[in-house]
Structure 1
Amino acid sequence: MAETKVEHPGVQERVAAGKALRETTPVSSHTGWLPAPDRPDPLALLEEQNLTRDQDLVPVRHGRMLASPFTFFRGAAKVMAADLKDTPRAGLGVQLCGDAHLSNFGLFASPERNLLFGLNDFDETLPGPFEYDVERMAASFTIAARNNEFSNKETRTVTLTAVRAYREAMAGFAQMRTLDIWYARLSEDLLQTMLAGEASQKGKSAKKARKAEKAVEKSAAKARTRDSLQALSKLAEHVDGNYRIVSQPPIVVPLRELGDAFGMSADEVQQSLHEQLRSYRATLQADRRSLLERYQIIDAARKVVGVGSVGTRAFIVLLQGRDQEDPLFLQIKEATRSVLEDHLPRSRYAQPGQRVVQGQRMMQAASDIFLGWTKGVQENRYLYWRQLRDMKGSADVEAMRPSGMAFYAQACGWTLARAHARSGDPIAIAAYLGKKDKFDLSITDFSERYADQNERDYQGFAAAVRSGRLAATEGV
């Protein structure tokens, strides 16, 4: 097997390489974005995705996307991927999240049980140009701010804050040692320290910071309650001396009620579930594999999650350790080809579940100890596994006011830069971005224009629902 040679250019070479790219792709080149003349029909792209999804859940997906232009944007990653392929790129690659909108950031627990803030969705992860993630993140802030009825000035400030935070954080990572970048993380304590610094000032900004500080404390406290015991109280019932998952169709449907939909008997469902668990367990580290072997399967169900992923296969599995008060809930999600693979080189991993897991491990400061993958029972179905609730917490985006969203934008921008610095070249990226705000302004201009396009797409989507072209079930 041929050995791959890894080049190690010096710092000055990397700086020079980054600066040279400004000549071929100016940092201001994102200004003035317009949709391509041959832009695909967004509805056709969504319908294409629906073909491989559980058909009874497709109307639920449409109903969730119909709630607002912001929820439509969340579900339209494939549409934006098609638009991004024509945007300028400097040629600096990173591991992309692929769907870095602001609702895909949040709190989660490290293996040491500390709360961290970071990216938490990697269904579309793939190596690619760093600009793609920055553009999707920035556009999501513009769209969310408009959805919350911020003024034009407030919306622009929030978006600029997110991009500036990314650029300035990347400049900081460019000065750090390699291992220090790898260990960098945005902890709950650091978030509180940042807010406390703002709150110590005088005037309106201090009052807003204290309000944001209380919101972070409330979110963190809620996240700490979200574990398998809490999930047991919410999702299971005691029947004949044993726990089982409660049927709450169409959101939660136990596998005992789904066998016919998959063309399998109840016994075949149970057998395949145990086979899947064994296959998944083999993808874990030896110590974690040994830990998981202490649990036995009690029940499983299909559970609908998210917006864009509705209709892809998603399940929960209830396992039991020492006794009935020692539950472990695992979540199983279907992994398909990344929407970016339509326009970028295909993943090095033939198994999409492995693509998701390896991308997450590369980008997250700390990953779930039970993160693994397997091939589904049916042909061309691939899955990845993780804990269902591991002190996960998300921000209530639609309740944010301008000051709160601006602080959140800072956290997201820093986090995305850290994720990119782990897999890309922070020195070259920082040198390319520069010290001035040209990149920030250019991406913000792109975001405003893309938000306009998203609004037009949303209106077309809503019209398709009204006409009967697309079926939608709202409020589920």
Structure 2
Amino acid sequence: MTTAKSTIVPFPALSERAAILNDKRVRKMARSAHAYVRGSTAQFYEWLGEIDQGSVPAAPSIWICGDCHAGNLGPVANASGKVRIQIRDLDQTVIGNPAHDLLRLGLSLSAAARGSNLPGTATAHMLEEMIRGYQDALAGHDESLSEARAGKAVRSVLDKATHRRWEHLARERLEHVEPKIPMGKRFWPLADEERQAIETLVTSAKVADLVRSLHGRGEGQTVKVLDSAYWVKGCSSLGTMRYAVLLRIGGEKSDRSYCMIDIKEAVDPLAPVASTMPANLDQAERVVNGARALSPYLGERMVQGRMLGHSVVVRELLPQDLKLDVDQLTVEEAVHAARFLSAVVGHSHARQMTEDVRRAWGTELATHHGRNLDAPSWLWTTIVDLIGTHERAYLEHCRSYALSASERPA
């Protein structure tokens, strides 16, 4: 009887990671027009700068997401396990113009609609509903966040999230419930200096206290690093430092619990920054401050830190945190999703504004409407221009990737 040979997976050396991760990012962005939106934050602001000739209104300077595409919204759980749809990725958060979040979301939903082969009329209705949902949020209408208004596509993800437990996260991320991170396509082994730096960071008082404070864990419980790995995750963030850490809380078997920690490098933001943004703000502190302003459920589970000379954000991953997939939508789902998600963004913006500021910003949004179109003309015109620019850039990206792939050795 012959015994099958075990396959040894080659992992890149520390010096080889950047090139491999960049190739993965380029390949991911070529998969679809919507995937290209997710990975092209820098290009988005370049396009906007070329298109905007003063048409985008000046709005009150507040914390904005800065990269408000649909994939960066989804179910998020707070420390006690309550789940809401909120902004779930704040890497690009800055104090800036909230209109930029509306434009980024509009472009993302429009790309998803085109990827779902929906007619152009669907995009027109989506943008109309987007502005209605946002204005409802500014007016303080809490019913705009009702699950009944979310649409089937959003409700199904929210329902799935509320029923998830640690076992689901373990099987999804770890491929089993045993406390070990499996090395493979998603997780790579660490260099010794990375492993030591993670141990120092995660067992520091700030991070250990965060882990103990969540879910009613005891203050005196021990926090032990069981395993850690480099995490190949995301699209625009591929190439920056990203680590997954498996922790055990408590020593006695009966009192033990496990959790996963995400360590993510905080880099300079790409979104335009308002003059009111504090100078010399540490990048990880920027992300945490923005998260606490925009997405309290997520912000309360995050702290900033330093690792290997880099600014990093540390957060506990919860099984309820899911990505919202809007790549395949019907017209009805697209319209409902547009209104609901813009209301989520609107509530995140509105909670930072006084009543007078909310009213003034709402009035600004209500002006400049076309005769037969509810969306403001600046929103419609800018997004239409962005869609055209995005389509050209996406096809050029695909062509460039195809040519480079054909030149690689077989």
TM-score by length of structure 2 reads: 0.81
Mapped to 2, the partners of 1:231 and 1:443 lie a distance apart of 39
Mapped to 2, the partners of 1:345 and 1:279 lie a distance apart of 32
> Does 2:349 correspond to 1:420?
yes
Change (3 A) 1:434 1:468: same
Listed one character per residue, the Cα deviations across residues 338-391 of structure 1 (whole Å, up to 9, x for unaligned) are: 0125897765453211111110100114335431111121x3x22101122341
Structure 2 match to 1:404: 333
Structure 2 match to 1:100: 68
Match of 1:454 among 382, 387, 390: 390
Match of 1:117 among 85, 89, 96: 85
Mapped to 2, the partners of 1:343 and 1:467 lie a distance apart of 40
**Displacement of 1:332:** 1.1
Structure 2 match to 1:275: 200
Output the amino acid matched with 2:241: R
8 A Cα contact 1:279 1:374, kept in partner: no
> Does 2:288 correspond to 1:360?
no
Equivalent position SS for 2:18: coil
Structure 2 match to 1:432: 364
> Does 2:148 correspond to 1:148?
no
8 A Cα contact 1:313 1:334, kept in partner: yes
**Displacement of 1:278:** 3.8
Listed one character per residue, the Cα deviations across residues 202-243 of structure 1 (whole Å, up to 9, x for unaligned) are: xxxxxxx6xx2xx5553234213444332323444789xx73
Mapped to 2, the partners of 1:134 and 1:105 lie a distance apart of 13
8 A Cα contact 2:302 2:316, kept in partner: yes
8 A Cα contact 1:464 1:470, kept in partner: no
Change (3 A) 1:55 1:372: same
Mapped to 2, the partners of 1:139 and 1:223 lie a distance apart of 26
Mapped to 2, the partners of 1:113 and 1:471 lie a distance apart of 50
Mapped to 1, the partners of 2:386 and 2:259 lie a distance apart of 42
Report matched runs for 1:55-454 at 5 Å. Answer: 55-85=19-49, 87=52, 88=54, 89-170=57-138, 172-173=139-140, 190-192=146-148, 194=149, 212=152, 215-236=153-174, 243-249=179-185, 251-253=186-188, 257-259=189-191, 265=192, 268-279=193-204, 281=206, 288=213, 291=219, 294-322=222-250, 323=253, 326-340=257-271, 348=279, 350-367=281-298, 369-377=300-308, 379=309, 381-424=310-353, 425-434=357-366, 437-438=369-370, 440-454=376-390
Mapped to 2, the partners of 1:394 and 1:80 lie a distance apart of 21
Output the amino acid matched with 1:409: A
8 A Cα contact 1:111 1:368, kept in partner: no
**Count of residue correspondences:** 377
Output the amino acid matched with 2:303: G
Equivalent position SS for 1:317: strand
Output the amino acid matched with 1:156: A
8 A Cα contact 1:138 1:163, kept in partner: no
Change (3 A) 1:69 1:470: farther
**Displacement of 1:155:** 1.9
Mapped to 1, the partners of 2:282 and 2:316 lie a distance apart of 20
Equivalent position SS for 2:180: strand
Change (3 A) 1:292 1:342: farther
TM-score by length of structure 1 reads: 0.71
Q: CA RMSD in A?
A: 3.3
Identity of aligned residues (%): 20
Output the amino acid matched with 1:162: M
8 A Cα contact 2:201 2:207, kept in partner: no
Mapped to 2, the partners of 1:459 and 1:374 lie a distance apart of 39
Equivalent position SS for 1:306: coil
